[in-house]
Amino acid sequence: MAAIPREKPTRSGEARAEFARYKSDVKTRGKPFFPYAMFHDTIMSLVVVATIIGLAAIWKWSSWGPHHDPTHKGLLGPIVDPPADPGTTSFVPRPDWYFYFLFYLLRIFKWPESVFLGTIGIPTIALVLLIALPFYDRRLERRPSARPVAMVAAVLTIISMGVLTWKGATAKEALASEVIQDVPRWIQQENLPPAAVPGAKLFATAGCTACHTYAGSGGSNLGAPDLTSIGTRNLGIQFQINHLKCPSCVNPGSPMPKFASLGETRLHQLAVFLESSKGTH
């Protein structure tokens, strides 16, 4: 009987041999899942359920205000927010905390030049790198001390995700009541004509500054550009009105919501204000 020719040792052959050794070792010298490992799992699961109940209880019991008001902010936020109103514009869009890292990326990348990197580019690359991990990290070595590149990459990933989440959580929100106090400064610095003043007040209160910055005020969110000197581009009143009514109709792919609900008069005021904004002096 001819002997089967021995394959020369290969990476995959080595991997298979190691896995076969693992299987037989565990089979002969491991311990049964029940009750040993399952005991640990059960304790951990009880901790998880207790934590969830605890969070629900803290949320409930810390958020009742002096007048039994469910919108009172407790330790973990109000029980209910005001109902959705598509007519309002003074909103600060804010996702749940585990999307903060994406949310904050859009403070770094601005419309229109690089916003694509923040919305699609970097998240897609990160996801592909994550899914493909076992295919480019093909060494069999599992000890962390012998995988310096992997460990450094992991630490850098954790730090950057942590920083982005933290920055997203502490990002200063531009409240209309605070921004309105900046209007006199805008008039002075931008040398705004009287016709632009109603638009400036509207700009401060209608929620524009939740995302846009203007002469040092405002929020810089979601890739929105700075509008301090938008008027120097001389886009025209009509363009500004059309854009406010339907941003994505004018700039395909713009994530800015529509502001048509403000009505023609106020849209015109805003457009005059924007066209008069020629930059600070």
Partner 1 sequence: MATPRRQPTKAQIRHQKMEELVIYPIDWLEERSGLVGGIRYFLFRNVPSDVNWMQTLGSAALTAFLVQAITGVILAMYYVPSASTDPATGKPVAWESIVNISDHLTLGWLVRGMHKWGASVFIILMFLHMGRVFLFGAYKYPRELNWIIGVLILLTGMLEGFTGYLLPWDQTAYWATVVGINLNGTAPILGPWLAQFLRSGQEIGLETLPRFYSLHMLILPGAIIALITLHLYLVVRLGVTSPPWSKDAAGGEPVEVEEPARRPGLTRPVPRTANGAAMQAEPGGRD
Among the listed ranges 98-106, 170-178, 182-190, 267-275, the one in contact with partner 1 (CB under 8 A) is 98-106
Among 2, 3, 5, 27, binds partner 1 (CB under 8 A): 27
Q: Going by DSSP bridges, is the β-strand pair 217-218/213-214 parallel, antiparallel, or unpaired?
A: antiparallel
- Within its chain, how far is the Cα of 226 from the centroid? 19
Task: Please report, as a single letter, which amino acid is at residue 277.
Answer: S
Among 100, 101, 104, 106, binds partner 1 (CB under 8 A): 106
200 — alpha (psi -120 to 50), left (phi > 0) or beta?
alpha
Among the listed ranges 172-180, 196-204, 226-234, 255-263, the one in contact with partner 1 (CB under 8 A) is 255-263
Tokens of 239: 């363009």
Among 100, 104, 107, 115, binds partner 1 (CB under 8 A): 115
Cβ atoms of 151 and 142 closer than 8 Å: no
Among 2, 49, 136, 149, binds partner 1 (CB under 8 A): 49
Cβ atoms of 72 and 64 closer than 8 Å: yes
Among 1, 3, 66, 98, binds partner 1 (CB under 8 A): 98
Q: Give yes or no for residue 152 binding partner 1 (CB under 8 A).
A: no
Closest CA to 190 of 207, 218, 213, 215: 215
- DSSP track, 182-226: GHHHHHHHHT--GGGHHHHHHHHHTTGGGT-EETTEE---TTPPP
Among 74, 198, 225, 257, binds partner 1 (CB under 8 A): 257
Closer residue to partner 1 (CB): 114 or 188? 114
> How many alpha carbons fall within 13 Å on the CB side of residue 148?
0
- Within its chain, how far is the Cα of 232 from the centroid? 31
Task: Considering only residues 52 through 91, tell me which ones interact with partner 1, judged by CB under 8 A.
Answer: 52-53, 55-57, 59-60, 70, 76, 79-86, 88, 91
Rounded CA separation 212/227 (Å): 7
Bridge partners (DSSP) listed for residue 217: 214
Among the listed ranges 166-174, 197-205, 229-237, 254-262, the one in contact with partner 1 (CB under 8 A) is 254-262
Q: Give yes or no for residue 44 binding partner 1 (CB under 8 A).
A: yes
Among 179, 222, 241, 262, binds partner 1 (CB under 8 A): 222
Task: Considering only residues 178 through 207, tell me which ones interact with partner 1, judged by CB under 8 A.
Answer: none
Q: Give yes or no for residue 94 binding partner 1 (CB under 8 A).
A: yes
Q: Give yes or no for residue 216 binding partner 1 (CB under 8 A).
A: no
Q: Give yes or no for residue 36 binding partner 1 (CB under 8 A).
A: yes
Cβ atoms of 270 and 196 closer than 8 Å: no
Q: Give yes or no for residue 144 binding partner 1 (CB under 8 A).
A: yes
Task: Considering only residues 5 through 24, tell me which ones interact with partner 1, judged by CB under 8 A.
Answer: 7, 12-13, 15-24
Bridge partners (DSSP) listed for residue 214: 217
